[in-house]
Chain A
C-alpha cells in the first residue's frame, strides 16, 4: 500500500527531523566552531584547515539546509498561528515556498562555506 503524503505533511515532518538534527549534532558543532574561531589564532587557523575538507563542507551544507528549512517552516508556523494563510490552497503554496526559499538561502549562505579554503 502506498500512502502519498501531501506537501504540507512533508514540510511538517522535515521540520521535526531537521529540529532533531539541529539539536544533535547541530548545537555541539556550532559551539565547537565558535570556540575554535575565538580561542586563539592557532585554533582559528586549525578550524580553517578543517573547513577546507570537502566532506566537512558537505556536512555543514546539509546542516545549513536543515537550519534554513527549519527557520522558514517556523516562520510559516508563526503565520498560521496568527491565522495567515490558513486556506488549503494557501497552505499548499506557502509550503512550496518554504521548501524553495530554504534551498535558495542554503545556496546563498552555502557559498560562504565553499569559498573558504
Chain B
C-alpha cells in the first residue's frame, strides 16, 4: 500500500475517505431522525415546526444535507468517469451536477433559516 498514488492531484484517496465519512454521518442522522419521529411522533404543522425550531436540529440537518451533496458529487462523478468518455460532454454534465448540488445546499439553508 506504500506510495500508492491514485492520481496526480491525489484527490482519489481523499474522495474515497470522504465518501465513507459522509455515508456514516448520514446514517447517524437517519437514526437520529427515526428516534425523534418515534419520541415526538409529529402529526401536524406545529409539532414539525417545534422539532425544527431547535437550533441544533437545524445545524445537524444542514450537516446532513452538506454530507449528502458531497457524497452525491463523488458518486455521480465516479459514474460519469466510468461511462462517459468524451471529455467535453462529461465536463459539461459535471458542471451541471455541481450547480445543482450547490443549489440544493442553498435550498437546505433557506428551509432551515429562511
A binds B: yes
Q: How far is the CA of A85 from the CA of B79 in the complex (A)?
A: 25
Q: Is B36 an interface residue (CB 8 A)?
A: no
A27:B45 contact, CB within 8 angstroms: no
Complex contacts, A75 vs chain B, CB 8 Å: 27
Label chain A's interface by main secondary structure: helix
How many residues of B are counted as interface, with CB atoms below 8 angstroms from the partner's CB atoms? 24
Q: Is A44 an interface residue (CB 8 A)?
A: yes
Partner of B68, one of A20, A27, A44: A27
A23:B48 contact, CB within 8 angstroms: no
Chain A interface: which size bin? Answer: 20 to 34
Contacts A28-B104, A35-B111, A44-B45 given: A78-B76 contact, CB under 8 Å? no
Chain A, Cβ-Cβ closest to B72? A23
A residues 35-65 in Cβ contact with B at 8 Å: 35, 37-38, 40-41, 44-45
B75:A23 contact, CB within 8 angstroms: yes
Q: How far is the CB of B15 from chain A (nearest CB, A)?
A: 14
Q: How far is the CA of A45 from the CA of B44 in the complex (A)?
A: 9
Q: How far is the CB of B107 from chain A (nearest CB, A)?
A: 5
With A24-B100, A37-B45, A74-B27 given, can you name 13 additional A-B contacts, CB distance below 8 Å? A16-B75, A22-B72, A23-B72, A27-B68, A27-B72, A28-B104, A34-B111, A37-B48, A38-B52, A41-B46, A71-B27, A74-B23, A81-B20
- Spell out A's residues near B (CB within 8 Å): 16, 19-20, 22-24, 27-28, 31, 34-35, 37-38, 40-41, 44-45, 71, 74-75, 78, 81
